[in-house]
């Protein structure tokens, strides 16, 4: 996702979650603001695998349960 405002969610703003055996999820975030959610960027594995990539140009702040959770990886444009 690119150039988005993600705010006021009662759970996580953006989540990459592998929630079943053999399941997988990949999320890439760029140029976005994530604020006012319970949690900001969340990477979680519940039986599957997931990856959350941030280009590093996002604003992630003001999420009371934490701005970052899990492993947030960087990436560059091609």
DSSP one-letter string for 31-68: S-EEESSSEEEEEEESSSEEEEEE-S--EE---TT-SE
From the centroid of its chain, how far is CA 21? 21
SS3 of residue 3 by DSSP: coil
Tell me the pTM: 0.91
Residue with tokens 């997931």: 50
Integer Cα distance of 5 and 2 in angstroms: 9
Give pLDDT tens digits along the chain (78 positions): 999 999 999 999 999 998 888 889 999 999 999 999 999 999 998 888 999 999 999 999 999 999 999 999 999 977
* Separation CA 43–CA 65 (nearest Å): 14
């Amino acid at each position: 996702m690119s150039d988005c405002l993600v705010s006021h969610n009662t759970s996580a703003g953006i989540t990459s979650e592998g929630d079943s055996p053999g399941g997988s999820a990949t999320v890439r975030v760029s140029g976005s603001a994530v604020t006012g959610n319970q949690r900001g960027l969340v990477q979680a594995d519940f039986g599957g695998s997931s990856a959350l990539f941030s280009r590093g140009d996002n604003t992630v702040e003001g999420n009371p349960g934490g701005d970052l959770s899990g492993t947030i990886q960087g990436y560059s444009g091609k």
